[in-house]
Amino acid sequence: MFPRLSIVVPYYDVERYLAACLDSLARQTFRDFEVVLVDDGSRDGSAEIARAFCAADPRFRLVTSANQGLGPARNLGVEHAQGEYLTFVDSDDLVPRHAYEMLIRSLDRTSSSLAGGNARRFNNTAGVRQSYVHRFAFAADRPATHVLEFPGLAIDRMVWNKVYRRRFWDQFAYRFPAIRYEDYPVTLKAHLDAVTVDCLAAPTYYWRERESGESITQQKFVFGNLEDRVVSAEMVLDMVDRRAPELRPEVHHHLAQIDLTTVVQAFAAAAEHEVPALLGLGRRLTGRLDEQVLERVPAFQRLEYYALRSGDVELLQRLARFRADGGLAAGVRADRHPILPWRYRSAYPGSRDATGVPADVYRLARKELELRAAATHLEWADDALVLRGTAEILHMPADDDATLRMTLLAGLRATPLRVRRIPVPGGGERVTGFETRVPRSVLAAIPRQRGSVRLMATMRSGPVRRRSLLGLQTLYPVGARIGDAWFQPARAPDGRMQLRRIAGEAELTGAVADGDALVLSGRLPSGTAARELVLSRAARDVRVPLEAGPDGTFTARIPVRAVVDATSPDDPFLGRTLLIPKIGDSLLLITGLSGAVSVPYGDRVLSIARSPGQYLNLVEAPSTVSASAITVDGDVITVSGPRWDGVDYRRIVWRRFQPNSDDAVDAPCAMTLDPGRWAARLDTAALEPADEADWTLFAGDYAVQAETFALTSLPRRLAGHLLYTRAGTLHLETS
């Protein structure tokens, strides 16, 4: 009997990561599979790990070859694969336990040619977060679609988050080219050849980002890597021209933003003997891209493209170093045109002293002089919601003459708000900060039918006037009750802030740990007929009886043993499972808790968490060091959390990794261990000087995960540092 699924896993010198990868495959809930391991001439201990898995599990088979590269190794694995379905895994990545069950179930239902799922990026310092290149294509479930119907799939360039029908693969005789970046030509061709494609929003693949930068995609400035990147891009461009010219806008824009930008960035550190060939690569790729795509980019990229076409290596090097040093993030100031005062020009390196550069190359379009206004701190006072943040027109000097107005928008009603300009720590002499207050009385007067309101910022700097909806940088803002409604600040998908007016939803008003159970209490919306609490997760739900009182209240007792499942966490890296409680179709709005409640069970913990919109989540996770409180006093940061039996709390450090290395520098914290609590104190003034350093809080070999209730005050600026969170990990960045 042949297996239904063949998983091809080539490996080469990955002994540090291979066991975790193969273990994630052995744990799959879909059991009818084989793993074809291809030893591509590995020189380290990877082969011993592979042979151990083959000896322990007959579903694992080993094929060996001389080192040829990832593409040929994959081709060899396909030749040995026997399954009805085919998939690929890179040997340093992880696969969630339910991934293949979901993908094959979808293919069985739709008969599509292939199915793909969302992807997460992960490592210790950055935690687990959405993969940038998969964020749009797999934002929602789309069964039986096609790239010509949904062009967003045209930039779905990875082969490994998909399951293919083997007869489809053989029908079109797919072969990986013997280059790096071999995925995109094969993946795009498969999208074009497919009858239909299934897209799943659930993550089906975890893509490792190594701290050391050793992987192919992270060695992006090595010349051989860049050369293969351009060859791959040319194969994709040829295919689009030949078979799908309607996809040119998506593909050309993507290659200009990602691949061409990478080639140009390489000039920052390229060896002198590589510069002529690097220039040739950049000009090759630039010559293939649509002029319309290159004309619509910002002034900085237009200057890069001009330097490529004209062969101005010195200018390319200056621009690349400027970008590498964070010059774009700092916001270069604009110069006013000496003759046409309503026009502005960029002040990027080379703009003034590079002879022969056409004026239009560094002319700043109106859209580049945009207003960037965002709230970074929210606080509910007795009479108002107080917002603090920053606002400035990009490229314009933030001088004392600049004016800022803020308006609350509720449909056609616009209510002016008072604004006070304030300095920002570390912002130098420029006054870019603001404080505004939204009176509770104004919010109370918002009509019941109005679901949400927004804030509009208007700024004038010299002759330039711009408007923009206020953004929100705080990921977990706190809401408050006003009258009979709950007002919840939230970050919309476009990054803008909205104040949601919520009424008539299920609410969580309390939670306690009771032995081995978590007891929730709250209020039900009128007319609720549901009598169970459903804890939804990726693969299977947990159902808990709901005890409803005559006054609209409820209690639900969740036995932790019914939730804990250490062998099958949905997140294969952190070992965590997120459960989303619902009563009927209603989520539970947290209105009565300001901190997590946790229940330990063996070496696992079930904890209350909150979503960015302040809805109830439950997290089932290993009992490791976790942070529940963060305080800042001058230069001193104190992080603290609960203590669990069997966990070592003696050494917690802030750690920064050396560039392109797994070697790190540690800044130990002063530890305080009390019964049930730990605290780690750091004086940032004692940190060793380091330009653009990014420190992450570690406990041993893993980054400390922060409870979501502890993140409501972040980001937080200190003198010379920015304290912020990235996917639940705590970071201290030199600013």
Cα–Cα distance, 267 to 316 (Å, whole number): 6
pLDDT at 215: 43
Token couple for 550: 């005559």
pLDDT at 428: 54
**Residue 519 CB burial class (10 angstroms; 0-12, 13-18, ≥19):** middle
Cα–Cα distance, 258 to 251 (Å, whole number): 11
Cα–Cα distance, 252 to 544 (Å, whole number): 51
- By C-alpha distance, which of 288, 271, 294 is closest to 223? 271
pLDDT at 398: 66
pLDDT at 707: 96
In 209-258, the DSSP E strands lie at none
Token pair 């790239």: residue: 147
Q: What angle do CA 598, 600, 604 make, to 5 degrees?
A: 110
State which fold the 371-497 domain adopts.
Immunoglobulin-like (2.60.40)
Q: Report pTM.
A: 0.91
Q: Sheet holding 636-642: strands in order across?
A: 629-633, 636-642, 677-683, 670-674
Local mean pLDDT, 10-residue blocks, the chain (735 residues): 95 96 96 97 96 97 95 98 98 96 97 97 92 94 97 96 98 96 97 98 93 50 90 97 96 94 92 94 94 83 90 92 82 73 74 65 84 95 96 81 93 94 68 92 91 95 92 96 96 94 95 97 90 86 92 95 83 94 95 96 96 96 96 95 95 88 88 96 84 88 95 89 94 86
Q: What angle do CA 694, 698, 704 make, to 5 degrees?
A: 105
Token couple for 441: 């009385």
Q: Kindly give, in sequence order, each residue whose CB lies less than 8 Å from that of residue 92, ignoring residues fewer than 6 positions away.
A: 14, 16, 17, 18, 21, 208, 210, 215
Cα–Cα distance, 678 to 661 (Å, whole number): 30
pLDDT at 402: 86
| Cα→Cα distances 481→66, 382, 500, 502, Å | 67, 11, 11, 9
pLDDT at 352: 57
Q: Are 374 and 468 in contact (CB under 8 A)?
A: no
User: CA 396 from chain center: how many Å?
Assistant: 30
Q: What are the residues facing 268 on neighbouring strands?
A: none
Q: Are 458 and 708 in contact (CB under 8 A)?
A: no
CATH code for residues 507-622: 2.60.40
- State the span(s) of the chain assigned CATH 2.60.40: 371-497, 507-622, 626-734
Cα–Cα distance, 541 to 38 (Å, whole number): 37
Phi-psi group of 43: left, alpha or beta (phi > 0 → left; psi -120 to 50 → alpha; rest → beta): alpha
- Strands 705-706 and 626-627 come out as parallel
Token couple for 143: 């069964």
pLDDT at 364: 83
Q: What angle do CA 52, 577, 88 make, to 5 degrees?
A: 45
Q: Are 596 and 628 in contact (CB under 8 A)?
A: yes
Output DSSP code: residue 363.
Answer: B
Token couple for 573: 């890296």
pLDDT at 218: 42
For 382-416, the DSSP string reads SSEEEEEEEEEETTS---TT-EEEEEEEETTEEEE
- State the span(s) of the chain assigned CATH 3.90.550.10: 5-208
Cα–Cα distance, 492 to 487 (Å, whole number): 15
Q: Kindly give, in sequence order, each residue whose CB lies less than 8 Å from that of residue 498, ignoring residues fewer than 6 positions away.
A: 452, 453, 454, 489, 490, 491, 492
Token pair 């995609």: residue: 217
User: CA 595 from chain center: how many Å?
Assistant: 25
Token couple for 540: 């299977």
CATH class of 626-734: mainly beta
Q: Within 10 Å of residue 606's Cβ, how many Cβ atoms?
A: 26
Inter-axis angle of helices 313-324 and 275-288, to 10 degrees?
A: 90
Residue at 1: amino acid letter: M
pLDDT at 526: 87
pLDDT at 368: 87
pLDDT at 336: 76
pLDDT at 353: 56
Q: What angle do CA 489, 495, 500 make, to 5 degrees?
A: 25
CATH architecture label of 5-208: Alpha-Beta Complex (3.90)
Helices (H), 575-669: none
In 188-347, the DSSP E strands lie at 197-208, 335-336, 344-345
